[in-house]
Chain A
Amino acid sequence: MRQISAAYIKAAKELIREKSALFWTIAWPIIWVLIGSFSFTGSAPQAVVPYIKGSIAISMMVFALMIAGMSNLPASIAGDRANGLLSKLISMPIQPYRDFLGRIFAVVTLSLLAAALVIVIGIAVGARFTGTGVEIPQAIGFVFLVICASAGVGLIAGTLIKNLQGAIMTGVGIAVITSAISGLFAPYEALPVPLQTFARVYPISSAQASIVHLLAGPDMVAYNPLTSSQVTLTIALSFALLVVGTVLYTRLGWKLE
């Protein structure tokens, strides 16, 4: 427990003190909440504008979670490998999974902080949500699925890509490209059919659609992401990504050769 807590405190402090991490994880999504809320709602009927803003805030919250997991986590892993900390850790009586848990908890903390700030700013600029009662914990469950899937991708990138800048840019690239082609930045109905299929299979866009469906209303989503088969697929793929990332990190991430 002490080792997990030590790894958590170190990773959390480093993330909070890294200005670029804070910018891309918190400031950038907030900027887009502000731009989206004032630029993309002009032609919509007044009654639905608050829910469109709510939907935009949720999309940007999901993007913040993606950046935290897919870019900040591999940056932390690759950075520690590049600066020799990994060699030091291997020489110490510490198990890789404890370091892994500490890092993941730190990313979860930053993710939740980013998510909360994005939603608060969204509400401040007029976003409204319909979700009540059981829908809120369900939405929080999907938030955790986004964190799991993003962290899984981040662990894979951080393990396989040894170069620090390479790991960061790969994570950012995956986050931006998959967001663009899965309906996170554009309406689902505007995507070509193959990408609509991808948006349903990709667990992060599917979870995002579920959160929007639960909190901003079904009218804000072009398909029903809450069917049992769709939810099962989202859960299974999110955990699969996390498990693959974990196995790779604990087996290969701590090997120097």
Chain B
Amino acid sequence: MCAVHIQDLVKTYGSRRVLDRVNLDVQEGEFYALMGPNGSGKTTLASIIAAVRMQDSGIVEVRGKSPEHAKEFIGYVPQENFSSPKLSGKENLAYFASLMGYSRNQANQLVVEMLENVGLSEEADKRVAKYSGGMRKRLEVATAIFPGIKVLILDEPTTGLDPAARRAFFSMIQEIMDRKTSIILITHIGSDAELASRVGLIDSGRMIAEGTPDELKRKHAVEDVITVETAAKTHSVLSLLKDFSINGRVGESEAGYKIYSQNGDRVLADVVRILDKAGHKVMRIEMARPTLEDVFFRLTERHLQEATE
């Protein structure tokens, strides 16, 4: 059974169609990232799956039921911080546990477990107003992973988090995945989406591509970029390097060359070997992997960040 099944979903606000015949399936236990710029419809899509909004037409099912009838399986973490800053982390979680129908004793027991799961046991009695952005987001994820929750929807959870908080956040997500909970991550950050097992790219309300991060990069011919700097820039180096690139695409940079290849790992080793054999001293060589932002750019001719702005 699909954890989430969406077919021909359409949603309009006034005369503006924000979701246009969207199709999407998320399997049980899958970590799915939905990536797109602001205004692409991804938050609307998340809110429809979470039963917060209704679609105009199309089918939306969570574990075979309409979202309205599957709320007990859905854990939703909206983009805005919704935990109460006037309550402690423990009080916030106890509130949500009681709303889920747990008795006071059960709730208290669960709260201890959940706080431990999200690494906030030591901050349990501190008011949320004193939490950092990352701590607050982890607490809010805890409100959405009570026992019985099968689909966790995270809307832009890492926005505003520093790199350390972001790392801590995703290691917590990894632990949640181990429980076979399906995760839908809404994001405009390519490096966040890279962590998912499958990624859907959405733009102007339409799904423009879907696949694993590697599939997307391969399918849309986005290359690794290898930068080489040799002791001297000569035509012979350039012609040697052209054999390794896609359709002879070797760019010249200020201090050296850029090789575009879909198989960077192999090319990197070969380039070092060939240049050495030809007597050209390699001063610097490095490889940049393509990102999902590059895939988005290839498909839309727009940079994700520009589109987001």
Contacts and interface: CB of A to CB of B under 8 A. Distances in A.
Interface in A1-44: 2-3, 5-7, 9-10, 13-14, 17-18
Interface residues of B, number: 30
Interface stretch (A82-90, A114-122, A160-168, A186-194): A82-90
Contacts of B82: 80, 83-85, 87-88
A91 interface: yes
Interface string A72-97: 00000000100111011111111000
Contacts of A90: 51-52
B101 A257 contact: no
Given A13-B86, A256-B53, A257-B53, A6 B78 contact: no
Given A13-B91, A93-B72, A2 B102 contact: yes
Given A87-B78, A91-B51, A6 B99 contact: yes
B86 A2 contact: no
B87 interface: yes
A91 B52 contact: yes
Contacts of A84: 78-82
Contacts, number: 76
B76 interface: yes
Contact of B87 (A14, A88, A89, A92): A14
Contact of A2 (B79, B80, B98): B98
Given A88-B76, A91-B52, A10 B87 contact: yes
A91 B76 contact: yes
Interface in B29-88: 47, 50-53, 71-72, 74, 76-82, 84, 86-87
Contacts of B47: 87, 256
Nearest to B140: A88
A91 B72 CA distance: 9
A176 B98 CA distance: 37
Contacts of B78: 84, 87-88
B246 interface: no
Interface string B87-108: 1000100111011111100000
Contact of A94 (B53, B86, B91, B99): B99
22 contacts: A2-B102, A3-B101, A6-B99, A10-B87, A10-B91, A13-B86, A13-B87, A13-B91, A14-B86, A14-B87, A83-B80, A84-B79, A84-B81, A87-B82, A88-B78, A88-B82, A89-B99, A90-B51, A91-B51, A92-B96, A92-B99, A93-B72
Interface of A: 2-3, 5-7, 9-10, 13-14, 17-18, 80, 83-85, 87-94, 256-257
Interface of B: 13, 47, 50-53, 71-72, 74, 76-82, 84, 86-87, 91, 94-96, 98-103, 143
